C-alpha cells in the first residue's frame, strides 16, 4: 500500500503553511472560487450476446476550491479537489459499469472518496502547477465520463507571454481511475503487466488569426510509446452560417523498452461542421494506418471525433465515417434544452488477426433550468447502440441529474 504522505503532499502542505501570513491579502481571498457539483447517474449497459447487463445507480459529489494568488512579483495559490461517490443501487450480478469500485467478492463499494491538492506559482505570464492535475491535451485527455473524474499527479508549466501563442509542458507520474481511490503508475490501455511508468508532454497552440489556429503536442509514456500530434482548426463564414474544419493527425511508435510491444500507428481525423442558427450539421472521416491500434493511457479519453459512448474506432487499418446533428432549442425560445445525434461506421480494421467492423449510434437530450428556484438543475438522457464484429454488441442507457452549487 502506498503511503499517503508523499513528497508532493509535503510540498503542498509547506506551500499552504508559507501562505498562512498572507491569507488576508485581497487577491488571494477575493479571487477565490468554490463550486460543488452534484452528480446523480444511472447506467444500464445491455449486452446482446448473452452476457449479464451491467446496471448501477450512484450519487457523486465533486468539490473544487481554488484560491487567488498572493500579491508580489511571484504569486502563490492553492487548489483542492475533493470527490466522493455513494452507491444507491448495485448487485454482484450487474456491477461493473465503471461508476463504482468493485471488490474481489463482486460487490460494489458502498462509498469511495478522494482528495487532491495542487500548489500553484505565477510569475508574470508563467503558471506552474504541482499536485493533482486534470490534463486535457491532444496526447492525454482525462476521463470524466463516469461518476467522478480521472485525476493525475504531476507538475506542469503554462506560458502565455507571447501574443497569440500558448506553450505547455509537464511531467506526470501517477493517476487515479474514475472509480478508484488508489494512485497507480501510468500504463497504456490494454497493458497486462504490473510495471507502469511516467508520462512527459510538451506542446503549443498558435492563433494565426481569428479564424485559424494550429497546435502541436508531443507525449511519451516512458518505455511504452511516444506520440506526436498536429492539429488545425479553421472557421469560415459561409452563406448565412459558419463552416468549421477541425483536422487532427497522430504519429505513434514505441519508446524505450516497449513493454507493451511494438507500436506503429498513424491516425488522421477530420470533422467539418456547418452551423446555421440553432442547427449544426457535421460530417467526418478517420483513417488509422500502421500495424497497431492508436495507443493511449489507460482509462483516459482519446482526442478523436470517434471517441463514442461505447467504441473508439481506432483499430489498425480502420476507416471510419461519421455524421452528426446538433440542435440548440434556444433558437426557438427554449434556452437550456439541446439535442444531439450521431452515427459512426468503421470498417477494414484488424483485431487480433480478424476483420474489425463496427457501427454505433448515439443520441443525447439535455435540459438545464435557466432561472428560478431550481436554476442550474440539469437532466440528461443518453442512448447508444453499438454493434461490432470483434467485441460485444451493446445497448447503453444513461440518465444524469446534475446540479452545480457556486459558493463564491
Give the residue extent of every domain in the chain.
Answer: 1-115
Q: What is the pLDDT of residues 357-404, one digit of tens each?
A: 999 999 999 999 999 989 999 999 999 999 999 999 999 999 999 999
Q: What is the pLDDT of residues 290-341, one digit of tens each?
A: 999 999 999 999 999 999 999 999 999 999 999 999 999 999 999 999 999 9
Residue 2: predicted pLDDT: 40
Residue 50: predicted pLDDT: 79
Q: What is the pLDDT of residues 239-269, one digit of tens each?
A: 999 999 999 999 999 999 999 999 999 999 9
Q: Measured between alpha carbons, how far is 385 from 309 in angstroms, rounded to an integer? A: 9
Q: What is the pLDDT of residues 180-234, one digit of tens each?
A: 999 999 999 999 998 999 999 999 999 999 999 999 999 999 999 999 999 999 9
Q: Average pLDDT, whole number, for the chain?
A: 93
Amino acid at each position: 500500500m502506498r503511503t499517503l504522505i508523499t513528497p508532493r503532499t509535503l510540498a503542498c502542505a509547506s506551500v499552504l503553511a508559507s501562505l498562512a501570513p498572507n491569507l488576508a491579502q485581497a487577491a488571494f481571498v477575493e479571487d477565490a472560487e468554490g463550486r460543488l457539483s452534484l452528480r446523480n447517474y444511472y447506467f444500464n449497459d445491455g449486452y446482446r450476446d448473452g452476457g449479464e447487463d451491467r446496471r448501477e445507480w450512484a450519487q457523486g459529489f465533486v468539490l473544487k476550491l481554488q484560491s487567488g494568488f498572493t500579491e508580489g512579483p511571484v504569486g502563490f495559490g492553492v487548489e483542492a479537489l475533493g470527490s466522493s461517490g455513494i452507491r444507491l443501487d448495485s448487485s454482484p450480478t450487474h456491477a461493473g459499469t465503471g461508476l463504482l469500485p468493485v471488490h474481489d467478492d463482486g460487490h460494489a463499494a458502498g462509498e469511495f472518496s478522494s482528495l487532491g491538492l495542487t500548489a500553484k506559482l505565477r510569475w508574470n505570464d508563467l503558471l506552474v502547477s504541482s499536485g493533482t492535475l486534470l490534463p486535457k491535451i491532444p496526447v492525454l485527455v482525462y476521463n470524466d465520463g463516469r461518476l467522478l473524474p480521472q485525476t493525475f499527479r504531476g507538475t506542469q508549466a503554462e506560458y502565455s507571454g507571447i501574443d497569440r501563442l500558448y506553450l505547455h509542458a509537464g511531467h506526470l507520474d501517477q493517476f487515479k481511475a474514475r472509480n478508484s481511490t488508489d494512485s497507480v503508475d501510468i500504463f497504456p490501455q490494454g497493458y497486462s503487466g504490473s510495471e507502469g511508468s511516467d508520462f512527459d508532454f510538451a506542446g503549443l497552440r498558435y492563433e494565426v488569426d481569428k479564424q485559424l489556429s494550429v497546435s502541436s503536442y508531443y507525449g511519451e509514456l516512458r518505455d511504452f510509446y511516444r506520440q506526436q500530434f498536429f492539429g488545425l482548426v479553421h472557421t469560415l463564414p459561409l452563406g448565412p452560417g459558419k463552416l468549421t474544419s477541425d483536422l487532427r493527425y497522430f504519429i505513434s511508435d514505441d519508446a524505450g523498452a516497449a513493454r507493451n510491444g511494438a507500436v506503429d500507428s498513424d491516425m488522421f481525423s477530420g470533422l467539418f461542421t456547418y452551423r446555421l442558427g440553432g442547427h449544426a450539421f457535421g460530417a467526418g472521416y478517420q483513417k488509422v494506418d500502421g500495424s497497431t491500434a492508436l495507443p493511449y493511457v489507460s482509462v483516459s479519453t482519446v482526442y478523436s471525433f470517434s471517441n463514442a459512448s461505447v467504441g473508439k474506432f481506432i483499430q489498425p487499418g480502420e476507416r471510419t465515417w461519421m455524421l452528426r446533428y446538433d440542435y440548440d432549442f434556444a433558437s426557438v425560445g427554449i434556452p437550456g434544452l439541446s439535442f444531439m445525434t450521431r452515427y459512426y461506421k468503421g470498417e477494414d480494421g484488424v483485431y487480433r488477426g480478424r476483420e474489425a467492423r463496427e457501427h454505433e449510434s448515439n443520441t443525447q437530450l439535455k435540459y438545464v433550468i435557466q432561472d428560478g428556484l431550481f436554476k442550474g438543475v440539469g437532466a440528461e438522457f443518453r442512448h447508444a447502440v453499438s454493434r461490432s464484429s470483434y467485441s460485444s454488441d451493446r445497448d447503453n442507457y444513461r440518465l444524469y441529474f446534475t446540479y452545480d452549487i457556486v459558493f463564491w
